Each structure stands twice: as structure tokens, then as C-alpha cells.
Amino acid sequence: MAFDFVNLIIGSLALLVAVGAAWFARQMFVMKSGLELRGSYSLWSSVSCDDKYVGSVTIQNLKDRAVVLFKIFLQIGHNYYIELEDFTNQPVTLEPFGILHREYEPIDHYSSGTHRVHLNELLDSKGVRRRLVLATSQGRYVVRHWIRAWDPVHVFFKNHYTGIIRALRSTYKGKAYGSNAKYVVQIKLSDGKEEVIPIYAHDYRYRIFRKFQLTSDALQSAVALEEFLLERAIAGDLNCSDVSVFDMENWRKQRYDKRDMEPFHAPKVGWFMYYIVGRVLSWWDDIKMNRQNRALHRKRLADAKRAEKAARAGTQ
């Protein structure tokens, strides 16, 4: 009896191992066969142009095999295709589990042959289907799965207690030096190379340069610092052909308006205040905003009717 029970356990374990191996082999086959892509795009409106346009597109490969892309289209309805990308001359290989992301600037207009095409009505219509279509090495592929990118902006419209905070950086030639950087010194060396050195308020206490030390007077202004460094270059203490000093403090003052420069200490918001009070107040704010919008709309209609009556009276 005990022997039969042991055999039953061994047989069950062997069956489980076999089923697991078969499932794993099937998953590997599925990952290696066929195509499975998902994507997303954004439609933008801008004061820079009259037409709505695709501002960005993202394609993600969900398979463990590479995909060759020749073109990317946005299909509108059954018969219109907006060409977003043409990789025909240099096809793009989307690696296994890789992502392709492109961003686009405002357009002049849409055209087909010699005709200008207006698409705003179709792009605005909720009854017209839009989807991404790819020209791949395996033929036409319709992207049916959407990349569900989360953004706290959507949460903010439901709960105004949601704060979206961005880290701002002042950069020089693509590199950020922090809010304490007072100046940025660009030195052109005798061999033609350039060196960029950030200068902070207390750098006169340290030896930033090998043959001399900065002074507190030299850090009073960008002009004073540039003159000081040129004098050191003439004296032979600084091996360079040219020196330029950029005032980062002044640049930040010009970039950030007064509102951005005023500090705001973020308070701690508890669960009840955020999820209960925040949602209730946001709901009430939306109601008041809708009432104001309806009142403004009625006022505009009344003004338009009065203007129309006055115009008719003037023509009689």
C-alpha cells in the first residue's frame, strides 16, 4: 500500500514536470513566432499651424524576435493613411522587446498629389476609427494593442489636490551645473579644444586653477571674472587662446518669472484629505466651473442676438 502511494506521488510529479516543460516550450514558440506589437500616438493642436498633427508615436515590440520597419502610417477611417515615417532607404530594426519613439514638429499642411488635404474634421470625429499601420518585412501590420501610458495629469483633473512637480535645470551646452553655479567659464585651449568650468560663490576659497586662485573681488560680476582670467592668461598662468564667462544667475532670473522664484513649502497631505476632501472639493470646483461656462455661453449668445438686431435695425 505504501509502495503504491509512493508510485502515485512520483507519477504525479513526473506529470507536473512534463506539463510544465510543455507549457514552457509553447511559450518559447509563441515568443519566437509571428509579430506582436503595440503602440500609441498623440494628436496635437498648435498656434504654429492650422492643422492637427501627430506629435509623437511609440511602437513596442512584444516578441523575442526583431522586426524590420519600412514605414509607419496613421490610418484614418477605411481609406486615408497619413505617412508618419519612411525608413525605406534605411529600414529600422526594432530589437526584441525594444521600443521606437519619435516626436514631430508642427506641419505646414497635408497633401495628396497636387491637392491640399484638410483632415481636422476627421481627426476630431469620435466616429472615425484611427489606428497605426506598419509596413514591415512580413507585410502590413495593424497595431491593435494600445500602450497604456499613465500620466498624473489625468489624475489632477479628478483630484485637484494632486501636485505635478518638475525639476528645472539651467544647462550650458547640454550639461547642468545646479542652482548654486554662479558663472560658467568657457576656456579655449591653445590646441583648439574647449573646457567648461562651473564657478560657485565660494570658489575663491579653493584652488580651482592649477597656477592661481580666484579672489572674492573677481567673483563680483561676470565682467570682473572675465577680466581677471584674461589677466592671468596674459601673465602666463592660464594656457588658453580665449576666455568667455557666462552669468548663470542672470540667466536664471531671465528664464524664471517672479512666480517661479517664490518658494512654496509642500505640506504633508494625509489619506483622508487627499482621497476624500480633495475629491469632494474637486467635484464642487468642476460644478462651479461648468456653471460659469454656461453663464458665459448664454451671455455671448445674448450679445450676438442683440448685435444682430442692431444690425438689422440699421439696414432698415
271-303 pLDDT, tens digit per residue, is: 999 999 999 999 999 999 889 988 888 888 888
pLDDT at 237 over 70: yes
Which of 6-15, 108-117, 222-231 has the least mean pLDDT? 6-15
From residue 165, alpha-carbon distances to 150, 153, 285 in Å are 16, 11, 22
Hey, what domains does the chain have and what are their CATH numbers?
A: 37-146 (2.60.40), 156-165+268-316 (no CATH), 174-255 (no CATH)
Strands 130-136 and 67-76 turn out to be antiparallel
Does the pLDDT value for residue 255 go beyond 90?
Answer: no
The Cα 304–Cα 299 span in angstroms is 9
Q: In this model, does residue 82 exceed pLDDT 60?
A: yes
pLDDT band at 247 (very low <50, low <70, confident <90, very high): very high
Q: d(Cα 86, Cα 83) in Å, to the nearest integer?
A: 7
Contact (Cβ atoms closer than 8 angstroms) between residue 180 and residue 191? no
Residue type (1 letter), 99: I
User: Quick one: pLDDT band at residue 313, thresholds 50, 70, 90?
Assistant: confident
> 141-172: buried (b, 16+ CB within 10 Å) or exposed (e) per residue?
bebeeeeeeeeeeeeeeebeebeeeeeeebee
Give me the pLDDT at residue 21, please: 62
CA dihedral 42, 48, 49, 50 (to 10 degrees): 100
| CB neighbourhood size of 112 (10 A) | 9
- At 67 the pLDDT is 92
pLDDT greater than 80 at residue 314 = no
* HSE (side-chain half, CA atoms, 13 Å) at 57: 18
Cell readout for 77 is 477611417
Measured distance between the N- and C-terminal CA atoms of the chain, rounded to whole angstroms: 113
Q: Which three cell numbers stand for residue 303?
A: 450679445
- Which of the two residues, 46 and 205, has the higher pLDDT score? 205
Provide the pLDDT for residue 93. 93
- Residue 29 is predicted with a pLDDT of 46
**N residues, the chain:** 316
Q: How far is the C-alpha of 152 from the C-alpha of 280, rounded, in Å?
A: 18
Q: What is the pLDDT of residue 135?
A: 95
